[in-house]
Each structure stands twice: as C-alpha cells, then as structure tokens.
Amino acid sequence: MVRALSGIITFHNRQYKPANAGVCVANHTSPIDIIILSTDNNFSLIGQSHGGFLGILQRALARASPHIWFERSEVRDRHAVTTKLKEHVSNPENPPILIFPEGTCINNTSVMQFKKGSFEIGSVIYPVAIKYDPKFGDAFWNSSRFSMMQYLYMMMTSWAIVCDVWYLPPMYINENESAIDFANRVKGVIAKQGGLVDLVWDGQLKRTKPKKEWRERQQEEFSKRLKLE
C-alpha cells in the first residue's frame, strides 16, 4: 500500500518502538498515518464504526487482529470507551493500541488539543511524531472538500509521500498529575520533535463556530499586544 503511494518513510529512534499492552499516541494528518505506522509495527485501532469504503476496511482489519470499533450510540459513552481501553491494555498479548488524540486531521503545521480519554487509563504512553514533507505531495486530508476515494486518488497520483516518523521515549502520568496536564505534556513533546506549533485549540473548530468567550479571549490577547507595541 505504501508503495502504491510512492511512500518514502524514515523511522527514527526505533529503540522506543511501542510494545504490547500500551497506548501509542501520534499527531494526525491523514488516514494514511495508520498505513505508514503499520509498515514498522503491528497496532490495534480504535474508532467509530463506519459504512461504505471505510466500513469494508474496518471489517477486514477486525478479522486479522484485535481492534475496538464503536457504534455511533456508544461513542459519547466515555465510561464504555475507557472500559474497553483498559481491557485491551491489560492483556499483554494485545498489540499496542494506536490513538490520534486530536480526533481529526490537522494540516501538519501544528498539534492541536489532545482529548484526555486515552491518558486516563493509567497505561504507559508511547508518543510518536509524524512529519510530512509537502514538496512532493500534501498528505493532509481536508474531509470537507474531498471524499475518501478522491483523497486516495490524489495520494496515488502525487509524486511521492515523504515522511519522517520519530518514536519517543515512553511516558507515564506523574503522581497528582491530571489527565489533561499529562495529555498536554505528551502533546508538547510530539510538537517539539516534529517541528510543529503546539496549540491549545480544539481541532474540531474547523467544523464549528468558536464560542463567543473564546473569540473574546483572543481579542483581549490581540489588544494587549497592540498596547505593548
């Protein structure tokens, strides 16, 4: 599959490659992130069950190795999600579970807010930074403009997908550290290694209007800068 995309992947720090019964978290640019990481390791995936082409892929994957797929009605049930995650990482025979805590594809210039769910289960976290070189092909999937099939066609007809992947040392939650603080600490490490901007904004803002208080807070920040200048 990577050869079909003319993928050129360089893996760094293989001594930190995720091990079984852990959680691997990475910044998210494209559905092909999974393909790229899977060329070097075996992962279990977690996500919402889909129909169409994605659904066919999910069902095929589920027959090959243990994955966690949720129905739409279960996705918002945080307790159910957390329980299934804990069950998975408690079995040393299970592959590491791959999670993209941003919850959406970002354009590979920044790392946006990490959802705290995967940082609440008390498991070791294996951070991974993914950085694409857009000179030969932009890997970002803008799902509001392109369908999955359109996107895959664009990837397969680009010159090449050039990508660097850094495995980073495993991280653990500190005593008295909240899941949110732990998530932000891991996010900062990934952003620094990948040369990405570390942002606190929710990536889902690209689909919804920002809250009024968020706009006001940003306006206050700009006004402070203008006063200083």
The DSSP result for 180-228, as a single string, is HHHHHHHHHHHHHHHT-EE--S-GGGGTSPPPHHHHHHHHHHHHHHHHH
Write down all domains in the chain, each with its CATH number in brackets. Answer: 7-228 (3.40.1130)
Residue 76: pLDDT over 70: no
> What is the predicted pLDDT for the residue at 161?
87
- For the entire predicted model, the pTM comes to 0.81
Q: What three-state secondary structure class fits 112?
A: coil
Class of residue 30 by CB neighbours under 10 A (exposed 0-12, middle 13-18, buried 19+):
buried
According to the model, what pLDDT value does residue 210 have? 66
Q: Which residues are CB-contacts of 157 (< 8 A; sequence separation ≥ 6)? A: none
Q: What percent of the chain has pLDDT over 90?
A: 37
Q: How far apart are CA 224 and CA 218, in angstroms?
A: 10
Residue that wins the pLDDT comparison between 30 and 214? 30
Average pLDDT value for residue range 205-209 = 66
The pLDDT tens digits for 139-198 are 888 777 777 777 788 778 888 889 999 999 999 999 999 999 999 999 999 999 999 999
Please tell me the predicted confidence (pLDDT) of residue 63: 79
